[in-house]
Amino acid sequence: MVQSQQKLDRELVRVQDLTPEMADKVIWLRARVHTSRAKGKQCFLVLRQQQFNVQALVAVGDRASKQMVKFAANINKESIVDVEATLRKVEQKIESCTQQEVELHVEKIFVISQAEARLPLQLEDASRPEGEGDEDGRATVNQDTRLDNRVIDLRTTTSQAIFRLQAGVCMLFRETLTKKDFVEIQTPKIISGPKCKYNVYLPNLYWQPWVKHETFCLPVFFRAEDSNTHRHLTEFVGLDIEMAFNYHYHEVIDSITDTMVQIFKGLFQTEIQTVSKQYPSEPFKFLEPTLRLEYTEGVAMLRQAGVEMGDEDDLSTPNEKLLGRLVKEKYDTDFYVLDKYPLSVRPFYTMPDPSNPKYSNSYDMFMRGEEILSGAQRVHDPQLLTERAIHHEIDLEKIKAYIDSFRFGAPPHGGGGIGLERVCMLYLGLHNIRQTSMFPRDPKRLTP
Amino acid sequence: MVQSQQKLDRELVRVQDLTPEMADKVIWLRARVHTSRAKGKQCFLVLRQQQFNVQALVAVGDRASKQMVKFAANINKESIVDVEATLRKVEQKIESCTQQEVELHVEKIFVISQAEARLPLQLEDASRPEGEGDEDGRATVNQDTRLDNRVIDLRTTTSQAIFRLQAGVCMLFRETLTKKDFVEIQTPKIISGPKCKYNVYLPNLYWQPWVKHETFCLPVFFRAEDSNTHRHLTEFVGLDIEMAFNYHYHEVIDSITDTMVQIFKGLFQTEIQTVSKQYPSEPFKFLEPTLRLEYTEGVAMLRQAGVEMGDEDDLSTPNEKLLGRLVKEKYDTDFYVLDKYPLSVRPFYTMPDPSNPKYSNSYDMFMRGEEILSGAQRVHDPQLLTERAIHHEIDLEKIKAYIDSFRFGAPPHGGGGIGLERVCMLYLGLHNIRQTSMFPRDPKRLTP
């Protein structure tokens, strides 16, 4: 066990750096035993570091004894080992490894951390494309087994790629907004008073117009409602934007859609391809500028497709998906904005449409037919805000601090909150949000 | 009220861009009325945008009527206005404004959002250096009034600078670690099972060695304990680092201290100077490489200064501060690492020192004598971890998922959590952590 007994001056090489250029060098390496196969006087190991792996050969001869080969053959999969080895070029490409042109001839091998012999799931099984197991009897791993053993499931190349992409979404979100002169702020999660109608908690809005003109934040949200669906979690990460605008809330929509487009464009292609090998999906399409439809247009498209609904009815989830398909057919985009929602289906702090009081200055954004953002111009006038709260039968005492915050001059402003896990799921064409949450939480899952 | 009635093609100029080069241009501007002073047929306004402000003159003449001057004079402070004006160079510098060489000659003025006449606090008072009010009878604003009216208090130049610096700390933290190949992850906040001894929640560690070799995270922490002090909050933001290391946990210390040094070096000087005008403090000093002292050395220094304490006693807060002063005197640094804490004062998952079982591979980091980070090599062997948990009388059933996560190969690893608000407070030499939390939460404060 490495207990920091000594400071070794020994350099450890990364698997991804093992290329023919380094051939014939003697190197030290720390990696996991991915697979192990003994064959007479030889033992073939595949050594893995995150998404990279290399073949290693322990063979009886000058450098290794019979005991050492036996020892190597008995190391459990997923154990972490240190090896000293000579890197050799190979004649024939090793198709099963990422480092195809070289292999390691091992001279020394030490076990740094021994894994238990029985793994609760096999990485090969967890890495198999969906459905493939069914055909030829090879196993795949179901969602619950994966999540119960997330520590191992997260080691697959696909998982590694998903969470690298998620980090990329966060980074691109921040970079784009910082360039636009937004400032990142930290908002409180502990708040007094219960939630308002429509399941919207005030803290989403807490900080809106107060501090800076343009702010963004990556808060964590907790949801007490139904989270048993493929797209809900009891805990999720929000990418929140709020900004003052000059004349029209479409300035806000433009800022958000531009940020989304920068994210779509900036994401790492290698990781996207890695995920699509296990979970194939149509490449994600988007337009520049982003398509913006009015709610009434959306309703008209749905009616033309046979859906019966009133002008001011909210969209059901199936109708959102259907509309997504219709929009894709007509405009060839997986990303669009639906603008001017009926006022009656939006929270009290939503600014009514000045030209038609049935509608509002609010919008949702969709990826592959599923909502990823809900936003609006917020009412910034304390008088109108009070009226709207009364209309929604909200206890004014409980939102006093919120209303009062507008009494000392507040600019017109708007924004929205993007669900990080949803953006990752939908961009990659995955079908369950638990795949894009590292340790997902839902009403049935509090561990690991 | 701007309700997005129309899209205007009118450009709004930023206050910070008003320089002599733009003289004699007619511009539109949106800003807050910072101060207002009527004087016969003239009205002088100071218009403010965040930390920038400019003088504006409304005078009876060709462009403005008597009514308009009166109207301008009656606009409440903190209201938001749109003005059309000609920018003019001035003969004599306007010392009270950031834009000293120009003033605006106003032709039109519209109120976009009217502030109430009675402000709960005056920005001038809130911007005054501490103690200054006492001498000449001018008012200062106490902490509770500030926090009760945080919406207005956050508008002071000092507050603006503090929270820009805070955003800078987050950005530098992420940039430095991303360059070092760390990956940002999102960890769950909802966890099953109660906290362990020593007030350390397991989720701090949740994800440690599992996913990637190097990770960082900016989680929010909630604290149920005593938060009535100048340096505790019930809710704070953590800058968390966990990493696998090769041979010795000092590799972890080096990574963290280097990250801190990059933050210290990268912070914006303008903002630091702004804050120090209102809250003067000694410039923050640090060494490269960072000073690392062993716990026994720290105890020896304290004893020499007259403190009586046992070898394995924990440091009290006053002794931490005293040691900070002694270290500053001897080494001229405000930042240092205290290494090798007694095992008995650290949580169960702390790796014991291999050469002396009374001590441990753990460390705290201090800024100006106050702790900003607590960290350690974590025990990565399930057997030793179980033994240590039993020794600490922890219910094994409640940490089963944690212990089990080490059964399938785990690299030696360590890390620590930095308190964002504390780093900002101590770097700036402020004296209360509520100044560096936008909407601070403590046992007595849940709003605004």
- ipTM value of the model? 0.91
Q: What phi and psi values does residue A101 have, to the nearest 5 degrees?
A: -105, 0
- Characterize the bridge pairing of strands B214-217 and B183-184: parallel
pLDDT at B46: 97
SS3 state of residue B169? helix
Looking at the complex, report in whole angstroms how far the Cα of residue A187 sits from the nearest Cα belonging to chain B.
7
Q: Is the pLDDT of residue A228 over 90?
A: no
DSSP state of B202: G
Q: Grade residue A209 by pLDDT with cuts at 50, 70 and 90.
A: very low
Whether B122 has its CB under 8 Å from any CB of chain A: the answer is no
Q: What is the chain A residue with the closest CA to B420?
A: A186
Q: Which of A21-35, A175-189, B383-397 has the lowest mean pLDDT?
A: A175-189
Whether A362 has its CB under 8 Å from any CB of chain B: the answer is no
User: Which pair of structure tokens corresponds to residue A170?
Assistant: 């966060």
Residue type at position A159: S
* The model's pTM: 0.92
Q: How far apart are CA B438 and CA B448, in angstroms?
A: 10
pLDDT at B205: 44
Whether A384 has its CB under 8 Å from any CB of chain B: the answer is yes
Work out the angle at residue A439's Cα, subtended by the Cα atoms of residues B189 and B253, and round it to the nearest 5 degrees.
70
Q: What is the mean pLDDT of residues A101-109?
A: 97
Q: Do B7 and A381 lie within an 8 Å CB cutoff? A: no
List A54's β-bridge partners, or say none: A47
Whether B7 has its CB under 8 Å from any CB of chain A: the answer is yes
Nearest in space to A290 (alpha carbons), one of A263, A267, A318: A263
Q: What phi and psi values does residue A266 have, to the nearest 5 degrees?
A: -90, -15
Q: How far is CA A363 from CA A366, A414, B2, in A?
A: 10, 11, 18
With beta carbons under 8 A apart, name residues in chain A contacting B5: 354-355
Widest CA span in chain A: 88
Higher-pLDDT residue of A230, B47: B47
- Residue B227 near residue B442, CB atoms below 8 Å: yes
Q: Which of residues 29-48 of B touch A (CB under 8 A)?
A: 30, 32
Work out the angle at residue B202's Cα, subtended by the Cα atoms of residues A434 and A217, and round it to the nearest 5 degrees.
55
Q: Do B381 and A113 lie within an 8 Å CB cutoff? A: yes
User: Which pair of structure tokens corresponds to residue B183?
Assistant: 């990956």
User: Which pair of structure tokens corresponds to residue A213?
Assistant: 């003109």
Whether A185 has its CB under 8 Å from any CB of chain B: the answer is yes
Whether B80 has its CB under 8 Å from any CB of chain A: the answer is yes
Q: What is the mean pLDDT of residues A55-61?
A: 95
**Is A242 annotated in the active site?**
no
- pLDDT tens digits, chain B, 448 residues: what are they? 999 999 999 999 999 999 999 999 999 999 999 999 998 899 999 999 988 999 999 999 878 899 999 999 999 999 999 999 999 999 999 999 999 999 999 999 999 999 999 999 999 899 988 766 555 667 789 899 999 998 899 899 999 899 999 999 999 999 999 898 888 888 777 665 433 333 333 434 444 444 445 677 766 666 665 667 888 888 888 888 888 899 999 999 999 999 999 999 999 899 999 999 999 999 999 999 999 999 999 999 999 999 999 999 999 999 999 999 999 999 999 999 999 999 999 999 999 999 999 999 999 999 999 999 999 999 999 999 999 999 999 999 888 888 888 899 998 999 998 999 999 999 999 999 999 998 888 888 877 7
Residues 6+ apart with CB under 8 A from A23: A87, A88, A89, A102
Q: What is the chain B residue with the closest CA to A4?
A: B248
With beta carbons under 8 A apart, name residues in chain A contacting B4: 247-250, 351, 354, 361, 377, 412
Higher-pLDDT residue of A281, A225: A281
**Is A164 annotated in the active site?**
no
Q: Quickly tell me which residue has 């050469």 as its tokens.
A: B355
Q: What is the chain B residue with the closest CA to A82?
A: B246
Nearest in space to B377 (alpha carbons), one of B344, B336, B406, B349: B349
Q: Grade residue A223 by pLDDT with cuts at 50, 70 and 90.
A: low
With beta carbons under 8 A apart, name residues in chain A contacting B381: 1, 113
Q: How far apart are CA A26 and CA A30, in angstroms?
A: 14
- Number of Cβ within a 10 Å radius of residue A438: 22
Whether B194 has its CB under 8 Å from any CB of chain A: the answer is no
pLDDT in tens, A70-83: 999 999 999 999 99
Q: Do A7 and B247 lie within an 8 Å CB cutoff? A: yes
Whether A383 has its CB under 8 Å from any CB of chain B: the answer is no
Looking at the complex, report in whole angstroms how far the Cα of residue A69 sits from the nearest Cα belonging to chain B.
21
**Is A4 annotated in the active site?**
no
Where does A312-440 have alpha helices with state H?
Answer: 317-331, 382-391, 400-404, 420-427
- Which among A183, A213, A439 has CB closest to B164? A183
DSSP state of A10: P
User: Which pair of structure tokens corresponds to residue B441?
Assistant: 């939460």
Nearest in space to A161 (alpha carbons), one of A6, A278, A31, A332: A278
Whether A78 has its CB under 8 Å from any CB of chain B: the answer is yes
Size of interface A-B (CB pairs under 8 A): 240
User: Which pair of structure tokens corresponds to residue B98?
Assistant: 């950031």
- Residue B30 near residue B112, CB atoms below 8 Å: yes
Q: Do A3 and B354 lie within an 8 Å CB cutoff? A: yes
